[in-house]
Structure 1
Amino acid sequence: MGLSSLYWVSFLFIGFGTMFLLGELLVKAKGLFAILGISLITLYFYAYLDPSMIITMMILYFLGILLIFIDGEFVNDGTLACIGIILMIISVGVSSPNWVIGLYAIIGVVIGAACSLLWLKVLPKRNMWTKIALLDRLTDEQGYTTMNTDYKELVGKTGVTLSNLRPVGTVKIGETHYSAQSDGYWIEKGTDIVVKQVDGTRILVDVLKK
């Protein structure tokens, strides 16, 4: 009995392959997860797909992974990541020899992507998912402050966001601009905020409840 007749094996190949590949992007796995993930995905394509479609579908799948990486490293708004996941689903689902294998493969992508988040609990995470590129150059001449010994006095004070906090951005408290961050969630530009905590030069803010 060949692998192609074992439908549930397609779920294992895609599920674990996706979990390892996305895990490589999320945590510092020193390339081991990438090797395991690529090996499993390649086995799936060679075992279940028509030989004439293998290269095209592999390109589509890894393009999806690339879009997720670009979103996490540079864009940070989730759009490219969603497109990437859709491409991954199309590459393993639509191209499958029958709907049963395709369904198993699609479920594998979804569950594998969700399970990849578990790596964050056991391995050191990469900085790419908290990295933020501010469009404005923060300088003292523009009224920005990044080092201030009086930061602790900001606790309880209110202000307004000058950029989207995702979760890092720029806020205005009084007449001074600060680099601040939310507690892991998005706060839109122009939102009233209150300083909840200060840790060194790290300013944690929350939406001001009126």
Structure 2
Amino acid sequence: MANKTELDSFLNFLQKIQLLSPEALEAIYSLCGLISIRKNQNLQEIGQRCRTIYFVKAGLARIFYLKDDNEVTEYFAFENDLIIRAESLFTGKPSMKAIQALENTVFIGIPAESLFSLFDTFPEIERLFRKIIEQAYVATVNRMEAIQFHPAEERYAQLMDEKPDLIRRISLKHIASYLGITQVSLSRIRAAIR
């Protein structure tokens, strides 16, 4: 278990989403553990079952999958971002995706079953995680719609507007796969913007 000082900013972040009683905060705190992963190491491998809800405390991570032996980045997670394999967490099936640290990263891990068992006792914890999952779902739908309906140039411009530090912290290879384009296409887009 992490000490309270290490989790202050995370617990404050949760409080901004849903006001929690001191008892509910203590219950969440009691479940939190810190996991440190080095750059390019996987927190979760392809084929594993997701049984833990993770948040990035410090660093940067991604979710990726393999398609035709190429890594395709599905999601980037920064500080305080949720990072889970929802399809595995909620079905119990092995995930076809991995979670990888793109920098030396510290994750906060909360065992899902233990967290879910708090929902009856603390309805505000259930509301909190419902809101977090809803936000993640909307972000996923927005990303899918961007790939379906917007050209690569617009997707790149939107990414630069929404997450400007992404460009400095993530390799062009990962950004290109996230945008659904080749690295050559991304280089052309970047050259045209300059």
Instruction: Give TM-score, length-normalised by structure 2.
Output: 0.29
In our comparison, the structure showing a higher alpha carbon Rg is: 1
Higher relative contact order (CA 8 A, sep 6+): 2
Q: Which has the higher strand share?
A: 2
